[in-house]
A and B are shown apart, each in its own frame.
Chain A
Amino acid sequence: RKEVEQDPGPFNVPEGATVAFNCTYSNSASQSFFWYRQDCRKEPKLLMSVYSSGNEDGRFTAQLNRASQYISLLIRDSKLSDSATYLCVVALYCGATNKLIFGTGTLLAVQP
C-alpha cells in the first residue's frame, strides 16, 4: 500500500462548480499535512497547510480526519486558473526528523 494515496482523476468540472479531493495516508505517525499545486510543466508549490481544526483560505478549505487518516481539499467557485494537479503531502516524524511524502496528485481541469 502506498504511504499517500490520491485519486489521479482527471476531475473535469465547469467554472463555478465546487470540487473536493480526498487523500489517504497509511502511517498514523504522520504529523503534518499539506496541499501542493503543480501547474503543467512547472514545479510543485505549496498551496496550503492542513490544520487539525480545518482551515480556509479564500475559496479553498482543507480538512484533516486523523481517525480515518485522510485529508481533503475543497475548492468553491472553481476558476479556469484552478486547473492544475493537486498534490497531497504528509510529513512523517521519525527519528527526530520530519520526512515529506508526496502523493502522485489529482488532476483538475476546469472547463469554461
Chain B
Amino acid sequence: GAGVSQSPSNKVTEKGKDVELRCDPISGHTALYWYRQSLGQGLEFLIYFQGNSAPDKSGLPSDRFSAERTGGSVSTLTIQRTQQEDSAVYLCASSTDRGGVGGVTEAFFGQGTRLTVV
C-alpha cells in the first residue's frame, strides 16, 4: 500500500503478557517514529529511527518497552509484562529526510494500534 500500515489495529491483552506492534512505513522513508496517545491526551514520543543511526530511545517510559527496525524498513514495538497504564493508541509515522537543514517535509502516520490491557 501507499501509506503507513500498522498491525494489529486493535489488541486486547491480559496484564502481564507481552505484545508486539508492527509498523510498515512508506517505502523509501528513512525516518520512523513511534508515539503513544492516551485517551484525550497529546502525542507522547517513544522512539525515533533515522537510517542507520542509533535510535533515539529517550521517550521509552520503562525498560519493558523496546523497539527495533529491521533492514531500515519494518519496525516492531514490543511491550513486555504489560500493565493497565500501557493502554493507549500507539501511532507510527515515517518521513523522508533529504539531510541538511530543512530536509524533512511531512510525516505520514499510520492509523494506529489501539492497545487495551485488561
Spell out A's residues near B (CB within 8 Å).
8, 31-32, 34, 42-46, 49, 85, 87, 89, 91, 93, 95-105
Contacts and interface: CB of A to CB of B under 8 A. Distances in A.
Contacts of B102: 31-32, 91, 93, 98
A99 B35 contact: no
A100 B107 contact: yes
B42 interface: yes
A100 B33 contact: yes
B106 A97 contact: no
Contact of A43 (B31, B91, B95, B100): B91
The range of chain B's interface size is 20 to 34
Given A99-B56, A102-B43, A104-B42, A45 B104 contact: no
Nearest to B48: A99
Contacts of A99: 31, 48, 50, 56
Nearest to A91: B104
Interface of B: 31, 33, 35, 41-43, 45, 48, 50-51, 53, 56, 91, 93, 95, 97, 99-107, 109-112
Contacts of A42: 111
Nearest to A42: B111
Contacts of B43: 44, 87, 102, 104-105
Q: A8, A43, A101: which has the most chain B beta carbons within 10 Å?
A: A43
B51 to A, nearest CB: 7
A85 B31 CA distance: 24
A32 B107 CA distance: 12
B4 to A, nearest CB: 8
Contacts of B45: 101-102
Q: B51, B97, B112: which has the most chain A beta carbons within 10 Å?
A: B97
